[in-house]
Amino acid sequence: MKHRSAAWLLAALPLALSPLFAQESEVQASDGSGLAAEADVFHPDRAKPAVPRYGGRVIVHLSSLPKHTNYVTENSAYTHRMLFELHETLLRQDWETTKYIPDLAAEMPVIEDILVIDAAAQDRYPTTEVRLRALVDGKPSQGFETVPAVYGQVTDNGDSYTVTPLSVGNPLQEPVEIPKTEAPRLERGTVFNFRLREGVRWQPGGGHADQFLDTDDVYFSWSIYSNKHVDCDEKRFQFTKVTGCEKIDQYRIRFFYEMQYAFALSTVGDSLTILPSHIYNLADPDNLAYKEHFTPEDQGTFINENQANKMWIGLGPYQVSEWTDQYVEARRFVDADGNSLYFDPTKAGYVDVIRWRVIADDEAAFNAVMNEELDYFERVKSADYFGPRTQDPKFTSKFYKGYRYLGHYGYTGWNLYKPQLKDLAVRKAIAYAFDSQAYLENVYKGLARQVTGPFPYGSPAYDMTVEPFPYDPDAAAEMLDDAGWYDRNGDGTRDKDGVELKIQFLYPSGNDASSTLGLTIREALKPLEIDLDLEPIEWATFLDRLKKREFDSCNLAWVPDLESDPEQVWHSKWGKYEVEGSNHSGVMDPQIDEWIEAGQRELDFEKRQEYWHKIHRRLYYDIQPYLFGFNVPLKFAISRRLRGVQNFAIDPGYSIRRWYFADPSEKGTRSTLNPK
């Protein structure tokens, strides 16, 4: 899951996650952000001083090639990770503290409350028409209402409210006291006022140069989520909650939310992918494809199929220079004299070139490591990590190994629309038949942790009191018998109502971890007379079938933030058969919907976790939409030439722009940022 704070990202196994709090030492971060996580923890020469040099190329492994790098329409963990170096957002999470800090925003946003004014009293105040989610008996409904309101910092005085304007351009110019009898509704933290950095340059492309970020770009990027023709169903849920947006001036913009929302800051601050209007907006006169008249479908198609989706035009320190089936390469964003054009050269990174090389097969990728064709590979199998291959001098002379934990977890998802899987008894029986503890010891040598729910293991949202089902194949067989699943035709496979208990296990080709798990599950299910058929397929096809629900079961992983809005994956509105969202299993549970919506409105952190715990328990014990897997340590191999490698709690757990070469003999390196 990305999810980022409000988004969950898909990834192929194996996954990992670091302890949810980064180690800190009194060392200045290379990007100037303050305290830095300890660097080179696993490096054999970590005690030796290393002086950063600029330049050189680093080659990072990808197990699959994302469709493109436009995160609006590509919900891939790899796309998200690449954009850490290619693009920026209004805010970003500090790697060390995980707190949000300004990025494209010049400062943290000014946040105000909305106070609804009774229609009979609206002429007494400088009101604004706002669109809010309608409440029925105090609970959110599916409808909306447009009402007069004032906004600012609202102080509760008992019988009245004092509203103090905080933002530039607020119609309310001075504090005003409003009786509660004239103010029937208060929504906290629902107006977000951003001021952009000035002079932030877009990377060149599409026939354009010297274009700069402004509120036209931000407004357009928000507006596209209301266009049903834009292929962004996996992200749309976040931005439909923003019911209004207004440009105050060239660098100030204001967002209005439908109601108070716990993930509001992360949605507009971090999850909003800002697109260049001059490249994607058909209504922008600076766009070479400008049209005076066009339909929403025209605009949606233009975004979905834009060439810039691959040859990304962003705001980061690196720009895509090549895109092939074998690799994606990005070079430092510089002018003709080699000067960085990134808005903050102190955070522009050390290396000149980043190459993400695609090798789908894990064994082939490890061989590439041994041949020094990769600098970083994070899918080292346990047999290799603990075995002789990583102890061979050929490996240890050039590379070293390490591991980290993140909040990711693997899962085998069941398609609840399939007749053989819609029965809860079948799904629970499979969980009882799989010996997860034996798998942990045999495959992960006890380093992984079994998960029982959808939130990051060890985070406050994760309910540690939920005990996994015991390994009990006899109980599993009894569940199936009681539910009427038995072999009626003597072919060795259970059946019911003409449906054979045969399950297709879909997974990305070349993924050794998925293959090993699938084979183990298949062996566990044979005594139960359940037939599991493994089907490896290419990543892009895999995702397409997932969206269209053309699968029985799928083996994947979610990459959630430390706290993520569960709506994307578990709300009924995204589980409808015709919706290509992230609720792939098709969970349609009114109780979970109610808890999600209550948690979204709860601004108190501790109280909000109570709702997530309820969702955790119900999903595991009463629905079991997944065979929940493991929080696996991410085992990596990395070149000894690289220094400045740190471990973080935020996916992907590292920052490439902080890596550097220290050896003066390293080809293409130098002592200064500017090569001249």
- Give me the average pLDDT of each 10-residue run along the chain (676 residues): 40 36 31 67 95 97 94 92 97 94 98 97 96 90 94 98 98 97 97 98 91 98 97 90 97 97 95 97 97 97 97 98 97 94 96 97 96 96 92 97 91 97 98 96 89 92 96 98 96 96 94 93 97 93 92 92 89 92 94 95 94 98 97 94 94 95 96 86
CATH classification of the domain holding 460: 3.10.105.10
Are the C-beta atoms of residues 144 and 257 closer than 8 Å to each other? no
Same domain, residue pair 493 and 586:
yes
Please check whether residue 554 lies inside any domain of the structure.
yes
CA distance 20 to 261: 24
CATH number of residue 146's parent domain: 2.30.30
- Three-class secondary structure assignment of 160-205: EEEEECCCCCCCCCCCEEEEHHHCCEEEEEEEEEEEECCCCECCCE
Report the distance separating Cα 330 and Cα 576, nearest Å: 39
Q: Are 636 and 401 in contact (CB under 8 A)?
A: yes
Domain, as residue range, for 26: 9-87+314-406+634-670
Separation between Cα atoms, residue 140 and residue 119, nearest integer Å: 21
Distance of alpha carbon 38 from alpha carbon 25, whole angstroms: 6
515 shares its domain with 582: yes
The pTM (predicted TM-score) of the whole model is 0.84
Q: How far apart are CA 397 and CA 491, in angstroms?
A: 56
Per the domain annotation, does 174 fall within a domain?
yes
Token pair, residue 444, equals 């992960």
Q: Cβ distance 88 to 319 under 8 Å?
A: no
Is residue 38 domain-resident? Answer: yes
Q: Which pLDDT value is given to residue 613?
A: 98
- Kindly give the interhelix angle for 424-433 and 512-525, rounded to the nearest 10 degrees: 100
Q: Which helix (H) or strand (E) holds 27?
A: strand 25-28
Could you tell me if residue 291 is inside a domain?
no
Report angle CA 172, 155, 135 to the nearest 5 degrees. 85
**Domain-located, residue 565:** yes
User: Residue 25: what pLDDT?
Assistant: 27
Sign, Cα dihedral of 25, 29, 34, 37: negative
Residue 620: DSSP 8-state: I
**What's the number of CA atoms in the CB half-sphere (13 Å) around residue 448?**
28
Whether residue 606 lies inside any domain: the answer is yes
309 domain-assigned: no
Provide the pLDDT for residue 35.
Answer: 58
Distance separating the N- and C-terminal Cα atoms of the chain: 43
CA dihedral 161→164→170→176, nearest 10 degrees, is 60
CATH code of the domain covering residue 66: 3.40.190.10
The answer to whether residue 333 sits within a structural domain is yes
| Spatial distance between the Cα atoms of 104 and 198, rounded to a whole number of angstroms | 9
Domain end residue (candidates: 195, 222, 254) = 195
Residues 547 and 454 in one domain: yes
Per DSSP, the three-state class of 314 is coil
DSSP assignment of 240-296: TTEEEEEE-SSSEEEEEESS--TTHHHIIIII--PPPHHHH-TT-TTSTT--SS--H
Residue 534 CB neighbours (<10 A): 16
DSSP-assigned letter for residue 470: P
